[in-house]
A = this chain, B = another copy of it.
Amino acid sequence: MPEKVNASIITIGDELLIGQVVDTNSSWMAMELNKYGIWLKRRVAVGDSRQEIIRALEEESRQADIILLTGGLGPTSDDITKRVLNEYFGGRMVTDQAALDNVKAIFARFNRPLLESNVKQAEVPNVCTVVYNTRGTAPGMWFEKDNKIYVSMPGVPHEMKGMMLDFVLPKLVSYFVLPAIISRTLLTAGIGESFLADHIKEFEQALPSQLKLAYLPNYGMVRLRLTVISTDTATAERDVEEQFAILKERVKEYLVTDRDEALPAVVGRLLTARGETVSTAESCTGGYIAHLLTAHAGASDFFKGGVVSYANEIKQEVLHVSDTTIRDHGAVSEETVRAMVQGCLNLMNTSYSIAVSGIMGPGGGSLDKPVGTVWIAVGNDEGIIAEKLHLRFDRTRNIEFTAIFALNLLRKLIVDNR
């Protein structure tokens, strides 16, 4: 009989508390745990402090069955996690031969001398199962106490991921009898969160109580997620599919995708299916749209290339926007982005092009064209459409919002062209 298994993540490191590092490990770990029916109940970040680490271990073990720790396993003196765990679980430090061989092999590969601090990395508490690190020098540690599992891993994302995939997740799955977490996700555009909630009010009220609906708004789009946690996989899947079909029908005029995928992936999939290609002509987004399109494997099937025309000179000389267009209307204008699309189509010989030009801030605005003014155009040989945005975020979010808006405009053009 499957049990509800709860996990908690403890991330350790002063750098997390002074804001020098954004914690991307936790969301990745959460997603992986979810796939196997393990519910992440809490995440806690504490500093490199013995007292704080012990407090977190005590608190989290009170309600979680699995406690995953990351960070504080490096070779330097501020890394104290291993010592504290050894104390907490009442062990003594011993050198693990395989971990030492791994450290030695890595140093040999890079042709570097072995330091005492590196040798020390192969020491582990004698009360743990060693989790070998195929991507770095610090071994992980698996402890069991009072029917609870504790796993300590490095904070370096790719090292942690290797341990999770190769060892920790398979071992957790065989240790517990896990329920199924089934969920379906869709993405909408063109309707705000509260209007969407109003639009699907009846659906939500009629939703069977075991199903949970979540709204995840971002960049002016709203993702909806239907979830059920159940010990009966077949029934759970049927329930979710049934309600998901109703939900999809209800939001069909706003539907971007009924899969759990990001907008650039949707655009890539649409283009690839049609054997079509896209290119980009970016001013204010500075290459970010091209980056989003190429972040996932398979981009070469639909993305040929782009121009980042940050200076007006590049708009003119590479994209052949005429100097009269820029002089008469300005670099941030409908005329300029339309000319950029045309120039990019000619230069890159793609089915579609995207062009953006705007003022991302904090400086560069004028009375006429304040910070946040952005022109976006997308088009193909049959025509070009353009839209203007007035953004009010900070520079980073203005860039992100513009990129997502432009990709959605392209998506609409592709879908309308079908």
Chain A interface residues toward B at CB < 8 A: 14-24, 26-32, 34, 39-48, 52, 56, 59, 74-78, 112, 115, 117-118, 135, 156-158, 161, 183, 192-195, 197-198, 204, 212-218, 223, 225, 227, 280, 282, 285-291, 293-300, 303-311, 313-314, 317-318, 347-349, 360-364, 392-397, 399
Contacts and interface: CB of A to CB of B under 8 A. Distances in A.
A41 to B, nearest CB: 7
A196 B165 CA distance: 31
17 contacts: A15-B216, A16-B43, A19-B26, A19-B27, A19-B28, A19-B31, A74-B194, A74-B217, A156-B217, A287-B287, A287-B308, A294-B310, A297-B395, A305-B308, A306-B308, A307-B318, A313-B349
Contacts of A394: 158, 161
B20 A223 contact: yes
A307 B306 CA distance: 6
B295 A300 contact: no
Contacts of A289: 287
A333 B339 CA distance: 35
A225 B20 contact: yes
Given A213-B78, A307-B306, A42 B41 contact: no
A126 B183 CA distance: 38
A246 to B, nearest CB: 17
Nearest to A305: B314
Contacts of A217: 74, 156
Which secondary structure characterizes the binding site on chain A?
mixed
B214 A14 contact: yes
A23 B20 contact: no
B294 A305 contact: no
Contacts of A118: 194
Contacts of A223: 20
Given A118-B194, A294-B286, A314-B348, A26 B41 contact: no
Contacts of A310: 290, 294, 299-300, 303-306
Contacts of A14: 212, 214
A77 B204 contact: yes
B30 A18 contact: yes
A39 B14 CA distance: 10
Given A195-B112, A311-B305, A17 B44 contact: no
State the 5 A-B residue pairs at the shortest beta-carbon distance, nearest first: A286-B294, A287-B290, A19-B31, A287-B287, A19-B30
Contacts of A31: 18-20
B318 A305 contact: yes
Given A21-B216, A115-B198, A305 B309 contact: yes
A23 B21 contact: no
Contacts of A216: 15, 20-21
Contact of A27 (B16, B42, B213, B297): B16
Contacts of A204: 77
Nearest to A200: B76
Given A76-B193, A194-B75, A294-B286, A44 B43 contact: yes
A17 B40 contact: yes
Contacts of A52: 41-42
A238 B198 CA distance: 60
B40 A18 contact: yes
A263 to B, nearest CB: 14
A20 B19 CA distance: 21
A45 B46 contact: no
Contact of A74 (B18, B76, B215, B293): B215
Contacts of A399: 295
B15 A21 contact: no
